[in-house]
Amino acid sequence: MKKIIILISGNGSNLQAIIDSCKSGNIDGEIVSVISNKENAYGIQRAMKAGITTKIISDDSFNSREEFDKALFSSLMEIEADLIVLAGFMKILSKKTADHFYGKIINIHPSLLPKHKGLNTHEKAINSGDKYGGCTVHHVNDRMDDGEIIAQQKVIITSDDTADTLKQKVLELEHKLYPKVIRGLLS
């Protein structure tokens, strides 16, 4: 069985979609660990409910960014995972981590990259008058929302869309696209 690690910082709705896909056999893999840099991330509850091992590597427990990076790197090294999935993990990886695992770490971003990196992607898309919003799955390097693109899915932005409605539409796409890409990469 292929081993998957998932890194989160928040709600974990993408995590949930991946949990469900593993359970249904759609993804031929097992989530062996969910790691969060936020103690109160709701995704941790989701993982625990699914009986998955969780680990908190909290930003607040380290004196420096370097120490956090070291702790994360060694946690990732402990498990020889086939795939490391960032699902709403709100931190840029250190160069050492990104280089070591390049090709094995993926991220999902709620825009049609290379457009609208960073936060508030839906506002940015609407304010730029874009016809389409969407999401991108890409390999992860040590730069924000960068790395080779693996897959994209787009959705029409209608005149009555707000950042919130667009976010919901895009999240629905994410929940289909991310499991599909993971399934493909592991098979």
Out of 10, 29, 133, 147, name the contact with ligand GRF by CB under 6 A. 10
Q: Of these residues, 100, 109, 116, 139, which one is catalytic?
A: 109
Based on the shown chain and the rule CB under 6 A, indicate whether residue 87 belongs to the binding site for ligand GRF. Answer: yes
Based on the shown chain and the rule CB under 6 A, indicate whether residue 26 belongs to the binding site for ligand GRF. Answer: no
Out of 2, 11, 92, 123, name the contact with ligand GRF by CB under 6 A. 11
Out of 108, 125, 140, 157, name the contact with ligand GRF by CB under 6 A. 108
Q: Are 181 and 105 in contact (CB under 8 A)?
A: no
Nearer to ligand GRF, 14 or 21 (CB): 14
Q: CB-side exposure of 18: number of CA atoms within 13 Å?
A: 34
Based on the shown chain and the rule CB under 6 A, indicate whether residue 133 belongs to the binding site for ligand GRF. Answer: no
Across-strand partners of 29? 2
Q: How far apart are CA 184 and CA 71, in angstroms?
A: 30
Across-strand partners of 138? 107, 149
**SS3 track for 10-33:** CCCHHHHHHHHHHHCCCCCEEEEE
Based on the shown chain and the rule CB under 6 A, indicate whether residue 13 belongs to the binding site for ligand GRF. Answer: yes
Clarify whether 109 is annotated catalytic: yes
Q: How many CB atoms lie within 10 A of CB 128?
A: 10
Q: How many residues bind ligand GRF (CB under 6 A)?
A: 14
Out of 29, 88, 133, 147, name the contact with ligand GRF by CB under 6 A. 88
Query: Quick one: which of 87, 187, 79, 94 has its CA closest to 137?
Result: 87
Footprint on this chain of ligand GRF (rule: CB under 6 A): 10-15, 87-88, 108-110, 135, 171, 174
Active site positions, annotated: 109
